[in-house]
A and B are shown apart, each in its own frame.
Chain A
């Protein structure tokens, strides 16, 4: 009440700084956000809306290099195009031959599986996505692609390129998605040695040209140049896709485990386009027997459809 103040006394409001309080409130909010983001995937729409808000900026950064690629493509000379065309025709012809054989083998495989009464292999469809020229974090191997939830992309979806397994989807927004590469230090993929079927896990090293296989005993049957394929035990990656080639095997007698390095077959650091794969739910043998037909219900809406049973 102002009447209680002595006349003539200067009113000096107490200087209480709320800076610390505000900082604490904001820090608490951030921690809440971190927890929600870490634990509650049902609140993923918060993240999705924020990342979609960031999308225009990311595309703006991507635009100059995209324009440059378009420009060089448009400016290609007739001779360049002709040689490229020749090469592509040659490649297409040899691929066609191999495909013919593959189809025969696949039919045989289906027949054998039916004989064994085993579950049918996963049918799949795929779609090409472009990698955005955006640097997310130099030490984390993550990239953005231009396909998102509206194209049917989901979290945990496998991504491959022309040479092998590339990574998996970690975050999805309506327009785009973030992919974690095989070489990210926090990524691991279950693999199998093609030669003898030995199963192990390939872990990213933070170097796009190296994967490490830290869980192999010293006497494991593994040699340089062995090929690693995905084993499909994680239920994320389809089995049988090439993952890496063994570069180096070190067996130190004083260590129980061998130290093994492999080189990913996918061009992790050079790709501009990758393929998203959709696996259809594994159907149990009983269900498959009950409903003889398993064709993909929605395998026709993607431009690059390859339904393989």
Chain B
């Protein structure tokens, strides 16, 4: 059975929700752990429906994220494109991975993203050396199974 791709409207709505989840006020302890849901959504659509959305979508989502909270414009746009590129290149392999390995791979992608952000922050004079900035990539990998199954249900409803 060939699964129909989710409509662009639905994907935009889901991304918007993920974007809002990035700035909803949380208690400080949770705020530090807040996973980057938008990156997970981008990874999921790049892996499960590689034809639904291209890299342009990841770029626009990143730009929206920068407009919402980034200290410099374009950093999330750049890193989301890199993440989406890795996910697009490996989608056939990724789908075959067992869940644990998927989580691990997601963590690697998020880690690459964070490393790029770290570098861009440093170059643009917003250096942030606190080790806690690396925590969201771990929580992102931990919530990956939940996000993946939620997106699967959402996508199959359309």
Binding site for B on A (CB under 8 A): 19-20, 22-23, 26-27, 29-34, 36-38, 46-47, 50-51, 53-54, 57-58, 60-61, 65, 133-140, 142, 185-186, 206
Contacts and interface: CB of A to CB of B under 8 A. Distances in A.
Nearest to B133: A139
Contacts of B120: 34
B68 A57 contact: yes
A85 B33 CA distance: 41
Contacts of A20: 85
A27 B67 contact: no
Interface in B49-79: 54-56, 58-59, 62-64, 66-69, 71-75, 77-78
The interface centre, meaning the residue of B19, B82, B126 with most chain A CB atoms within 10 A of its CB, is B126
A23 B25 contact: no
Contacts of A60: 20
B132 A139 contact: yes
Contacts of B26: 135
A61 B82 contact: no
Contacts of B77: 26, 29-30, 33
Contacts of A134: 23, 25
Q: Is the interface of A mostly helix, strand, loop or mixed?
A: helix
A19 B67 contact: no
Contacts of A140: 71, 126, 128
Contacts of B19: 57
Contact of B54 (A22, A38, A47, A142): A22
Nearest to B73: A37
B24 A135 contact: yes
B25 A27 contact: no
Contacts, number: 117
Q: Is the interface of B mostly helix, strand, loop or mixed?
A: helix
Contacts of A36: 73
Contacts of B63: 33, 50
A23 to B, nearest CB: 4
Interface in B99-158: 120, 124-130, 132-133
Contact of A38 (B24, B72, B82, B133): B72
A30 B73 CA distance: 8
The interface centre, meaning the residue of B28, B32, B73, B85 with most chain A CB atoms within 10 A of its CB, is B73
A186 B81 contact: no
Nearest to A33: B74
A136 B69 contact: yes
A139 B32 CA distance: 7
A139 B130 contact: yes
17 contacts: A19-B85, A19-B89, A22-B55, A26-B78, A27-B82, A29-B59, A29-B74, A30-B75, A31-B74, A32-B74, A34-B120, A37-B74, A50-B63, A54-B68, A57-B16, A139-B128, A139-B133
B128 A26 contact: no
The interface centre, meaning the residue of A46, A133, A139 with most chain B CB atoms within 10 A of its CB, is A139
A50 B59 contact: no
Nearest to B16: A57
Contact of B74 (A23, A34, A58): A34
Q: Which 4 A-B pairs have the closest CB atoms?
A: A33-B74, A30-B78, A50-B67, A37-B73
B55 A26 contact: yes
B88 A34 contact: no
A186 B126 contact: yes
A135 B23 contact: yes
Nearest to B21: A61
A19 B19 CA distance: 25
Contacts of A136: 23, 68-69
A38 B23 contact: no
B113 to A, nearest CB: 13
B25 A65 contact: yes
Contacts of B54: 22
